């Protein structure tokens, strides 16, 4: 019989070799912190700005001006959380091709979010026309937050049926409100962006929780052997 330290089986019966509980707990914890910190930076930046219109202004608008470091920190924390989730999901590989594609989406999303934080000048392209680089990056991010949860939904649903629908809802709600953010007038688009942002919590928080609990359960099982 295979020892717990040498391997285990996931929900689909596949062998997961040398799954380390401490790594899963760290990835789950960083994933949770990376999801929560941006909420605090949004509130902090809103207070610092003093004139942020919740309905009309976007989250990225808070990254402008002398206090832009506040939202930059939020971007970096979010990116760290996404990368931690990608690492944890790769370590505890719960699915097949779809799960792997979800991991790739998480990794690329982390990279794009870092670049959003770094590119805080909101400048135009070198030629002086076209979309701002920040806007171009947001277009890259949009499909990643759509397909990421959808790719992982089936595998996560094998652990808990409700999580599958949470992941599907995350992708659908994100797509709808991200599209509305791009299509609606500037005086109301901010609220749609915030709803789209909130929808990402429907898969990042459950995934972080699953990773942390998986690591926690395995650490106690190892202690009992």
Please indicate, yes or no, if residue 195 is contained in any of the structural domains. yes
Dump pLDDT digits (tens) for 166-177.
Answer: 999 999 999 999
The pLDDT-based confidence of 4 (bands split at 50, 70, 90) is: very low
Please indicate, yes or no, if residue 47 is contained in any of the structural domains. yes
User: Which pLDDT score is estimated for 81?
Assistant: 97
Domain span holding position 162: 41-78+96-121+128-205
Please indicate, yes or no, if residue 67 is contained in any of the structural domains. yes
User: Which pLDDT score is estimated for 1?
Assistant: 28
Please indicate, yes or no, if residue 170 is contained in any of the structural domains. yes
Please indicate, yes or no, if residue 54 is contained in any of the structural domains. yes
Instruction: Indicate if the pLDDT at residue 122 is higher than 70.
Output: no
Which of 1-10, 140-149, 150-159 is predicted least confidently? Answer: 1-10
Q: How many domains does the chain have?
A: 1
Please indicate, yes or no, if residue 55 is contained in any of the structural domains. yes
User: Which pLDDT score is estimated for 40?
Assistant: 93
Question: Mean pLDDT of all residues in the chain?
Answer: 85
Instruction: Indicate if the pLDDT at residue 126 is higher than 50.
Output: no
User: Which pLDDT score is estimated for 159?
Assistant: 87
CA 130 to CA 125: how far, in whole Å?
7
Q: To the nearest whole percent, how much of the chain has pLDDT over 70?
A: 84
Please indicate, yes or no, if residue 14 is contained in any of the structural domains. no
Instruction: Indicate if the pLDDT at residue 6 is higher than 70.
Output: no
Please indicate, yes or no, if residue 34 is contained in any of the structural domains. no
Mean pLDDT value across residues 146-170: 95
Q: SS3 string of the chain? A: CCCCCCEEECCCCCEEECCCHHHHHHHHHHHHHHHHHHHHHHHHHHHHHCCCCCCCCCCHHHHCCCCHHHHHHHHHHHHHHHHHHHHHHHHCCCCCHHHHHHHHHHHHHHHHHHHHHHCCCCCCCCCCCCCCHHHHHHHHHHHHHHHHHHHHHHHHHCCCHHHHHHHHHHHHHHHHHHHHHHHCCCCCHHHHHHHHHHHCHHHHHHHHHHHHHHHHHHHHHHHHC
Instruction: Indicate if the pLDDT at residue 123 is higher than 50.
Output: no
Instruction: Indicate if the pLDDT at residue 45 is higher than 50.
Output: yes
Mean pLDDT value across residues 182-191: 88
Dump pLDDT digits (tens) for 50-87.
Answer: 777 888 888 878 877 777 888 889 999 999 999 999 99
User: Which pLDDT score is estimated for 160?
Assistant: 87
Max CA-CA distance within the chain?
A: 66
């Amino acid at each position: 019989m295979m020892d717990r330290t040498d391997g285990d089986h996931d929900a689909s019966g596949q062998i997961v070799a040398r799954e380390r509980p401490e790594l899963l707990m760290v990835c789950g914890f960083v994933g949770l912190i990376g999801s929560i910190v941006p909420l605090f930076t949004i509130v902090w930046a809103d207070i610092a700005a003093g004139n942020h219109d919740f309905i009309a202004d976007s989250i990225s608008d808070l990254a402008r001006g002398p206090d832009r470091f506040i939202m930059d920190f939020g971007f970096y924390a979010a990116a760290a959380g996404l990368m931690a989730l990608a690492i944890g999901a790769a370590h505890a590989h719960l699915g097949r091709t779809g799960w792997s594609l979800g991991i790739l989406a998480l990794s690329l999303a982390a990279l794009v979010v870092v670049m959003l934080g770094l590119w805080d000048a909101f400048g135009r392209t070198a030629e002086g026309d076209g979309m701002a680089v920040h806007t171009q990056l947001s277009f890259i991010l949009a499909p990643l937050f759509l397909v990421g949860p959808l790719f992982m939904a089936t595998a996560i649903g094998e652990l808990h049926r409700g999580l599958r629908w949470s992941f599907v809802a995350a992708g659908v709600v994100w797509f709808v409100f991200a599209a509305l953010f791009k299509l609606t007038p500037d005086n109301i688009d901010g609220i749609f962006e915030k709803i789209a942002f909130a929808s990402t919590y429907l898969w990042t928080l459950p995934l972080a929780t699953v990773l942390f609990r998986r690591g926690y359960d395995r650490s106690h099982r190892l202690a009992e052997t």
